Amino acid sequence: MPKQTQVDADVVIVGAGLSGMIAARAVLAAGLTPVVLEADERVGGRILTEDVIPGLPVELGAQWIGDTHERMFLLAAELGVETYPQFEDGETSYDLVGSGVLRESEFHARFGDELAELERVLRRLDELASEVPVDAPWSAPQATEWDSITAGAWYDAQGLSPVARTLVEICTVGILAVPTAEVSFLHLLFTIQTCGVTSELFAESEGGAQTTRFVGGTAEIPRRLAALIADHIMLRVPVQLIEHSADSVSVHCRGGLVARGRRVIVAISPTLTGRIMYDPPLPGARDQLTQRLPNGSAMKAFFVYDEPFWRTDGFNGQLISDVGPARMSNDTCIPGDDHGVILMFLEGEQARTFGRLPEDERRAALTAELVRHYGGKAAHPEFYVDGEWSDRQWTRGCYNANHGPHVWTAYGSALSAPIGVIHWASTDTATYWSAYMEGAVDAGERAAREVVAALLG
Amino acid sequence: MPKQTQVDADVVIVGAGLSGMIAARAVLAAGLTPVVLEADERVGGRILTEDVIPGLPVELGAQWIGDTHERMFLLAAELGVETYPQFEDGETSYDLVGSGVLRESEFHARFGDELAELERVLRRLDELASEVPVDAPWSAPQATEWDSITAGAWYDAQGLSPVARTLVEICTVGILAVPTAEVSFLHLLFTIQTCGVTSELFAESEGGAQTTRFVGGTAEIPRRLAALIADHIMLRVPVQLIEHSADSVSVHCRGGLVARGRRVIVAISPTLTGRIMYDPPLPGARDQLTQRLPNGSAMKAFFVYDEPFWRTDGFNGQLISDVGPARMSNDTCIPGDDHGVILMFLEGEQARTFGRLPEDERRAALTAELVRHYGGKAAHPEFYVDGEWSDRQWTRGCYNANHGPHVWTAYGSALSAPIGVIHWASTDTATYWSAYMEGAVDAGERAAREVVAALLG
């Protein structure tokens, strides 16, 4: 059979991540024909589950949803993917600012004042974030001021104790995956506001962003979604060029495929949208925006043991530390499987530095940290795997696009505004839980609404 | 004749800016065959001279060289392009921090203390910059500290008076074309060190970066250089994909042309290098770097009058102001032509905001500012033209790549290090006068040396 060189559709969608596939499903539901062009050999984008041991899926990408992620709960239900709660029983282990390893109860007893400081800062962030319109952060009353400083500079100015300052840094980097010295304070407030309040964002329990997991692995969501629109997805077709006119698009892929349609939804991270050639070229303001939205750096490292021995010792598998390469960890055991699985997070500078060491050195440094917190049993995992996202050609970093100072106020209005027949999706453009799977669905649905309204009136 | 679909060379060069053409000339001189692939319909890159009135070239791009730009003086001599000194006679006009319009003599008399403050800051910058190795800024003794703060934060911490703080901001934005709140302090020091000392960089007289102009316009340099290597330059061939192996490259262009060679030199700004597809893909560290090196924003606006009336009034045509859309101006008359030409600079936030107003509004606001400084004769120019670089598809911003906090220390080593058979040029990778034409030559020559050494041993 000759290689397919042309495909026609109403709506061409670039990227078969969650956002692009949600958009495709919505377009199809409206009676229009989508075609999704995916550069990679798989769907799912920043969702990536790998069965490293048969029956033991590990989540190298997006993993959790939270209680207010309504779209994701609904989607999981529609797709028949069951959920289960994140394991939370037991104590977190701390080691901060030279405290040495302390159990949660000890840490709270010793650093009650510092935790109260942190709480005050989070309440203040909530107050300020409530003034940021999620669909136009640049129009917040103090947008200019907030966008001229970094989140780190704002934290520094709060007069926090070293423990509170370190804790708030770890919490923030855990969301943004870049140091707070690189992120606009306005962007931090925007992020908080798209998620509700800081307690939603920073906490893992009682309503946080990480309360719930998916049976079989998160990738069940994109896998089943793809199955519903399988006739409309093409893999291994990297988009190089989008020609566009007032009422049509021709999307050219490496290898020669041309997808023609009436509208295009580009459902990849903003920095990647900037790598496509557009003819006619996009306005300077859009182009300068995509030069200024780098993805963060995140690495997840999984240790698999024969059992979750930390539970027996009263630990929940979470650590918060400024000592080793990982600032945080999580118990990510699978219900019904006997293995103990601990996930270590390396984010921002940690991913950039330790993430580039040879694997044996990364593993040794992380193992040493686990041993310090959970004892000698941690020294001998059955299995180790890690994954860093900047090496992945079709993703190039996680968790999302980060806005440095002045980006929202100088260029933000170009983030999701359609340009002629070109529309933008991906969680980075969401106004509800931006950077999360929930945001991917939000943005995909919004882009589909724009396109359907334009084509069907 | 059928459309050419393949070209063979020893060295494929991407970009016919100054850096790429210098590299091509050096490769040719070494007995190897280059081919330069240029996306645009012209050579010159960030050098762009337009004859807006016959015989009156205006420089929408790079314009001056300075006394220590040895390579450029040599190149001009080789190419037979004559030079002339920048007009400097008379006084600068100031209006800063509510001072109202003041002639230079008045300004100096009133703000002697503030100018002394500025001088102390510049001397301190020189001292610190001298500790930055230009080929490895990340290895400076205090690199981590200097790269974790912005230049703006460092300035803010110097306890400067409003006038001195404003002056140092204007001087710095005049070089970097982004607000100091976006630039790493380490990057500012690197920039200073590649240029010698701050007096070289900030001053226009006695050894600064802007002492000398080219007869016929700066574009005479790339035009004559292109004529020397005309058989090796192809225009209108935007590069989309670079396939590379241990000893060969295939460079694929829009339209179907494939250029094959043994090495490739990518001589375009770092952000644009990130838009090419590479097979195999580049390492994550390189990719994350190019996500983090946005080009600045600069607009030059030219007012052409029947005569340089400001000279009669004792002015040199320079203004320094924080009032109107332009922070600085220059007398850019052409010797032997009677017209008076004033160039207004809009850089950083000024280019981003005023640069996007409709042309009549931009022109009116700039005219009003000229009238405030130079009187009613400024109200009626014969001709007005301006140019902003972010709209230009194959440049996308000026003057150069800007390193925010943590970029040099986390990713800097990937800036110019070859990756297999792929080498990097453009002034953004220079270690001498980076961001200037001199740096373009420096980087082009360095990349050519790498390639020649690899191929000829």
Estimate to the nearest angstrom the gap between the alpha carbon of A358 and the chain centroid.
25
* Interchain proximity A391–B284, CB inside 8 Å: yes
Tell me the chain B residues in contact with residue A165 when contact means C-beta distances shorter than 8 Å: none
pLDDT confidence of residue B205: 46
Query: CB-based contact (8 Å) between A77 and chain B?
Result: no
Laid out side by side, the sheet with A91-95 consists of A102-103, A91-95, A315-321, A328-331, A340-347, A298-305, A383-388
As annotated, the residues of chain A forming the CATH 3.50.50.60 domain(s) are 6-45+219-294+402-456
ipTM at complex level: 0.95
What fold is seen in the domain A6-45+219-294+402-456? Answer: FAD/NAD(P)-binding domain (3.50.50)
Tell me the chain B residues in contact with residue A254 when contact means C-beta distances shorter than 8 Å: 240-241, 277
Q: Which two tokens stand for residue A322?
A: 């400024």
Between the CA of residue A202 and those of A161, A192, B453, what are the distances in Å?
19, 9, 54
pLDDT confidence of residue A1: 40
Residue A174 has pLDDT above 70, yes or no: yes
Look up residue A74 and give its DSSP letter. H
Q: How far is A3 from chain B (nearest CA, A)?
A: 18
**Which residue of B288, B295, B356 to mutate against A (max A Cβ within 10 Å)?**
B288
Look up residue B80 and give its DSSP letter. T
Residue A53 has pLDDT above 90, yes or no: no
Count of CB atoms within 10 A of residue B55's CB?
10
Rounded to 10 degrees, the C-alpha dihedral A32/A37/A42/A47 comes to: -70
pLDDT confidence of residue A147: 96
Residue A198 has pLDDT above 60, yes or no: yes
Residue A61 has pLDDT above 90, yes or no: yes
Phi-psi region of B321 (alpha: psi -120 to 50; beta: other; left: phi over 0): beta
Q: Report the relative pairing of strands B263-266 and A249-253 from DSSP bridges.
A: unpaired
Phi then psi dihedrals of residue B51, to 5 deg: -80, 85
For residue B269, give the nearest of B424, B134, B55, B56 by alpha carbon.
B424
Residue A125 has pLDDT above 60, yes or no: yes
Q: Which residue in chain B has the smallest CA separation from A292?
A: B294
Q: Estimate the share of chain A in helix, then strand, then coil, as percent rounded to the nearest 5.
A: 40, 20, 40
Q: Among 3.30.750.24, 1.10.405.10, 3.40.50.1950, 3.40.50.720, what is the CATH number of A112-202?
A: 1.10.405.10
**Which residue of A147, A268, A288 to mutate against B (max B Cβ within 10 Å)?**
A288
> In whole numbers, what is the pLDDT of chain A averaged over residues?
95
Query: CB-based contact (8 Å) between A322 and chain B?
Result: no
Query: CB-based contact (8 Å) between B386 and chain A?
Result: no
* Interchain proximity A271–B288, CB inside 8 Å: no
Estimate to the nearest angstrom the gap between the alpha carbon of B62 and the chain centroid.
6
Residues placed in the known binding site of A for FAD: 19, 38-39, 239
Rounded to an integer, the average pLDDT of A382-399 is: 94
* Interchain proximity B411–A284, CB inside 8 Å: no
* Interchain proximity A404–B406, CB inside 8 Å: no
Residue A194 in contact with residue A186, Cβ under 8 Å?
A: no
Residue A24 in contact with residue A425, Cβ under 8 Å?
A: no
* Interchain proximity B281–A349, CB inside 8 Å: no
CB contacts under 8 A, A 393-432 vs B, are 393, 396-397, 404-406, 410-411
- At A401-422, the pLDDT tens digits run 999 999 999 999 999 999 999 9
Query: CB-based contact (8 Å) between A238 and chain B?
Result: yes
Count of CB atoms within 10 A of residue A281's CB?
14
Query: How many Å apart are CA A430 and CA A444, to the nearest integer?
Result: 8
As annotated, the residues of chain A forming the CATH 1.10.405.10 domain(s) are 112-202
**Largest Cα–Cα distance in chain B?**
72
Tell me the chain B residues in contact with residue A185 when contact means C-beta distances shorter than 8 Å: none
Tell me the chain A residues in contact with residue B254 when contact means C-beta distances shorter than 8 Å: 240-241, 277
What residue type is assigned to position B186 of the chain?
Answer: L
SS3 A116: helix
Between the CA of residue B59 and those of B334, B344, B410, what are the distances in Å?
11, 12, 36
- At A63-113, the pLDDT tens digits run 999 999 999 999 999 999 999 999 999 999 999 999 999 999 999 999 999
Taking 50 as the pLDDT cut, the residues of chain B under it are 1-2, 204-205
What is the pLDDT confidence band of residue A208, given thresholds at 50, 70 and 90?
Answer: confident
Rounded to an integer, the average pLDDT of A194-207 is: 68
* Interchain proximity B181–A397, CB inside 8 Å: no
Query: How many Å apart are CA A183 and CA A177, to the nearest integer?
Result: 10
* Interchain proximity B291–A287, CB inside 8 Å: no
- At B157-184, the pLDDT tens digits run 999 999 999 999 999 999 999 999 999 9
Q: Which residue in chain B has the smallest CA separation from A238?
A: B277
Residue A74 in contact with residue A442, Cβ under 8 Å?
A: no
Percentage of the residues of chain B whose pLDDT score is greater than 70: 97
Q: Give, to the nearest 10 degrees, the angle between helix B220-228 and helix B18-29.
A: 30
Name the residue with tokens 């490259």. Answer: B249
As annotated, the residues of chain B forming the CATH 1.10.405.10 domain(s) are 107-202
Name the residue with tokens 């600032």. Answer: A327
Q: Which residues of A141-160 are buried (b: 16+ CB within 10 A; e: fewer)?
A: eebeebbbbbbbbbbeeeeb
Burial of B207 (0-12, 13-18, 19+ CB in 10 A): middle
Q: Which two tokens stand for residue A352?
A: 């950039």
Q: Which residue in chain B has the smallest CA separation from A178?
A: B406
What is the pLDDT confidence band of residue A207, given thresholds at 50, 70 and 90?
Answer: low
Can you spell out the DSSP letters for B340-372? EEEEEEEETHHHHHGGGS-HHHHHHHHHHHHHH
- At B93-132, the pLDDT tens digits run 999 999 999 999 999 999 999 999 999 999 999 999 999 9
Tell me the chain A residues in contact with residue B275 when contact means C-beta distances shorter than 8 Å: 274-275, 277
Has B70 been labeled as part of a binding site? Answer: no
Size of interface A-B (CB pairs under 8 A): 114
* Interchain proximity A396–B284, CB inside 8 Å: yes
What is the pLDDT confidence band of residue A2, given thresholds at 50, 70 and 90?
Answer: very low
What fold is seen in the domain B6-45+219-293+402-456? Answer: FAD/NAD(P)-binding domain (3.50.50)
What CATH class is the domain B107-202? Answer: mainly alpha
Residue A366 has pLDDT above 60, yes or no: yes
Query: How many Å apart are CA B194 and CA B189, to the nearest integer?
Result: 9
Q: Which two tokens stand for residue B392?
A: 């230009």
pLDDT confidence of residue A203: 58
SS3 B93: strand
Q: How many helices (H) and strands (E) does chain A have?
A: 17, 21
Nearest neighbour of A182 by CB, restricted to B275, B397, B404: B404
Percentage of the residues of chain A whose pLDDT score is greater than 90: 93
Query: CB-based contact (8 Å) between B314 and chain A?
Result: no
Residue A205 has pLDDT above 80, yes or no: no
CB contacts under 8 A, A 131-170 vs B, are 148-150, 153
* Interchain proximity B388–A353, CB inside 8 Å: no
